[in-house]
Structure 1
């Protein structure tokens, strides 16, 4: 495997700026190269003898394109539409970028839905559970992101009461913590530092991930890697208790969003009927114990497959949206999701003025009136942000738009009505109107980081088609080499 050409974790890049602190931190641990192109992070690889850069949307489109192929083979027909899930805590930029990835892969994206909401559909439709009134907490801890949602389910109506999470917490972080531990162990044993060797780091990370999985079932395991670095072999033992100690801060960090959704939904923890585990990382025993203890020893619900629940829920939603619901239960289903983070604009002094508070059911339309701050002001700028902090610098910038010209008048006389419209995908459109003169202008956010123009999307669609044939040839060559290596290995064993 070529570590510099093996791209993963792209979900942590999509819709983010290059200078985002979390992007900077991830770049330090990734073996592949991420470069800055106009404040957007791009992945740089060597492809067919050339240096090429790909946006996170293009790489996500490759994954979606592969899934499209898998579905077409399974169903025996063309797949042109899809419902795509995203972490509940994805902001507007990340949602729009994900939708763009779907378009690049040749899919008509019917809906973007939140992952824990999709999991709730999978859980709520099982065994006639949707008939009973119940409060269901979805705890979704995957490879790279973490979401908690609290839903009220009754009679096929799924109402999201609150959502919280961390778009930068998951199994990969537990692997990284283990990797750092073993890097120090190796250095202590050999006096050699593997930090700069991408291949050694990739091999060690793979071994760490395997150890993590083993420790979900057993209480100890051994890592063995021949010639890890500079001809030095590496062997080390790790117990489940030590693994839990190394990751104790990260594990404990998953409880705060649980507390947040209970607070936001104004539901006491004793009133939560079911706690549903979703995502591969929920198999870790310590995480299960922390969650159960928080709910006073309550039994956790493990009746749905944590790896498949989100895809199952998305498939049900796709069936409903395409008019192909397979049962009366799904045909009558109604999904009411929420805005995960407040949306608003920056006022004088960079103070955040929320227009759509977090927890608002989508789709929604909210208005707020603003005015001018200077006499004869004819241009008004509206920087749009998403977040919960008073200082806009601490929130996520979604872009900026300008309303001009407006009639000159005294400061404070102009009436500027700003309308925020959030669609069913959780994606935002903003309109501003100057009311005093009756002059109005419809403005939608532009220059949003991660948002692609229709021309850029079309070019990426063409590139994807162009690369497809060379990709297939490369894939066949790689498979042949793997088969040959496997054959040689079997012969050597004989």
Structure 2
């Protein structure tokens, strides 16, 4: 979070403290915007309190900064956040001798988004040693498979953060971590709990004072801030006091809520947070009995009733929460950085350490006209380790003399298939057989070659990593 004022720009807690008065100039959740074209963000921009504009097909933020309307790109916002991180590190440990860092990213980030994040971190002053996925960093924080490389297990990383629910199954074998399946829902997060609490407090205020504070945006923002603080307190204590000065019409609001009441109010939402477990396990080809460890990640997993329900669901698994769930990803990244820091480039290239196996971040599809009604057929699915090669054979009908292969991709972040390329072959013999070879190289680039042996026809296309 970054806030712009007439005098300065601030990040983190300082930005959050002024968000009620300065909402239109406070940029939030920049990670959701990075690497996405304007066409994907039109609806998002309409709902954003900060003005978002289109510039060359990309998005920029327009804010009032030092008494002037100024635009900033998402990468500039990210760079400022990383710069503040650097300053924080230096203030705690003196002038840093090394600016080496390991950066964590969501599992669904493609190569383009990873490059943007890397550039932002470098602009912020960091030397990026490596980028690893967030759930892998969480597993590394607990040294799973590192102290004993013979350890083999399946780990479910359960992450419930402020804005999303993310589930990841990771197979650990021989010190190697491989992401087997993932699930992400950007509509489920701590913000939902804040909303439930805020609605409860608003109703209580209305009962007492016969006024609906929800009619005022500033009052509602104050209430949401109070609800968020209350949520954090109830994760560790039995009761929480909520106090909001001048909530509405100059009236101060004070109340107390017990953890039991809080958990009862949120029970339906927390139950919804458990429902995707079956899907992510099915995607991995596993059952809940195949999971040996469940790792809690994200501040909302501190809620005791959620921990209890997870422990009951995975009754045979070890529940890992000894490292603060809202810090575990950072701990894992710090451990990896401590190992890699000081190595020269050749050693870095050879260093296996935990080895986060490189995998596809999206599904590779082809368009079909199959009789079962399905429009797209997967060729390679996300989380397939790369490099990888596969082959498909297509037979033309007697009357066909042309062949068109339409390549598409879809991902968690962009579920609607997007065109990658098309291969067209003409003047083919009747009932021709076309062999298509799909090859994803280690750099993420896709190479597709189609051949028809009778006419000695070949067409190929290369799609760079993006």
Query: TM-score, normalised to structure 1's length?
Result: 0.71
Distance 1:109 1:158 in 2: 21
**Is 1:352 matched up with 2:371?**
no
Deviations 1:314-349 (A, max 9, x none): 2344455667499xxx96533336446533244459
Counterpart check, 1:142 vs 2:161:
yes
C-alpha deviations, 1:48-98, integer Å up to 9, x for none?
222233343332232123224444664745756543212224466654554
Cα distance between partner residues in 1 of 2:176 and 2:247: 54
Work out whether residues 274 and 301 of structure 1, in 8 Å CA contact, stay in contact via their aligned partners in 2: yes
Q: Which residue of 1 aligns with 2:242?
A: 223
- Over 3 Å counting, the alpha-carbon distance change for 1:317 and 1:128 in structure 2 is closer
Q: Map of 1:70-89 to 2, 5 A cutoff?
A: 70-71=88-89, 74=93, 76-77=95-96, 82-89=101-108
* Unmatched tracts of structure 2, length 5 or more: 1-17
Pair 332,44 (structure 1): closer, same or farther in 2 beyond 3 Å: closer
Alignment: residue pair count:
431
Match of 1:440 among 450, 456, 460: 460
Where do 1:346-385 residues align within 5 Å? 346-347=367-368, 351-366=375-390, 368=392, 382-385=407-410
Tell me if structure 1 keeps the 8 A contact 2:152–2:174.
yes
Partner of 1:386: 411
Q: Are residue 12 (structure 1) and residue 32 (structure 2) matched? A: yes
Alignment pair present for 1:286 and 2:311: no
Is the deviation greater in 233-242 or in 88-97? 88-97
Larger RCO (CA under 8 A, 6+ residues apart): 1
Match of 1:49 in 2: 67
Q: Is the 8 A contact 1:387 1:396 kept in 2?
A: no
Q: Tell which deviates more after alignment, 52-61 or 275-284.
A: 52-61
Query: In 1, Cα distance between the equivalents of 2:193 and 2:441?
Result: 35
Q: 1:34, 1:42 within 8 Å by CA — same for their partners in 2?
A: yes
Kindly tell me: are residues 433 and 157 of structure 1, through their superposed partners in 2, closer, same or farther at Cα, counting changes over 3 Å? closer
Quick one: distance in 2 between partners of 1:351 and 1:385? 13
User: CA-to-partner distance for each residue in 1:277-325, whole Å, 9 max, x for gaps?
Assistant: 2222211112101101112386522232323321232234445566749
Distance in 2 (alpha carbons) for counterparts of 1:27 and 1:173: 20
Structure with a larger share of its residues in helix: 1
Gaps of 5+ in 1: 389-393, 449-494
Asked whether 1:239 is paired with 2:258, we answer yes
More strand by share: 2
2:367 is equivalent to residue 342 of structure 1: no
Closer/same/farther in 2, CA of residues 180 and 46 from structure 1, 3 Å limit:
farther
The Cα of 1:157 is off from its aligned counterpart by: 2.8
Residues 303 and 194 of structure 1, relative CA distance in 2, 3 Å threshold: closer
Question: RMSD of the alignment, in Å?
Answer: 4.1
Q: Closer, same or farther in 2 for the Cα pair 1:243/1:129, shift >3 Å?
A: farther
Give the Å deviation of 1:365.
4.6
| Superposition map of 1:93-492 within 5 A | 94-95=113-114, 97-99=116-118, 101-102=120-121, 104-105=123-124, 109-124=128-143, 128=147, 130-187=149-206, 189-195=209-215, 197=217, 199-296=218-315, 300-318=319-337, 324=343, 332-336=353-357, 338-339=359-360, 342-347=363-368, 351-366=375-390, 368=392, 382-386=407-411, 395-398=415-418, 400-402=420-422, 409=428, 415=434, 417=436, 419=438, 421=440, 423=442, 428-436=444-452, 437-444=457-464
Matching of residue 59 in structure 1 with residue 84 in structure 2 = no
Change (3 A) 1:403 1:207: same
- How far did residue 135 of structure 1 move? 3.0
Aligned CA distance change for structure 1 residues 62 and 396 (closer, same or farther; 3 Å): farther
Q: TM-score when scaled to structure 2?
A: 0.75
1 CA distance for matches of 2:459 and 2:201? 65
Determine the C-alpha separation between the residues in 2 that align with 1:183 and 1:372: 65
Shift of 1:168: 4.2
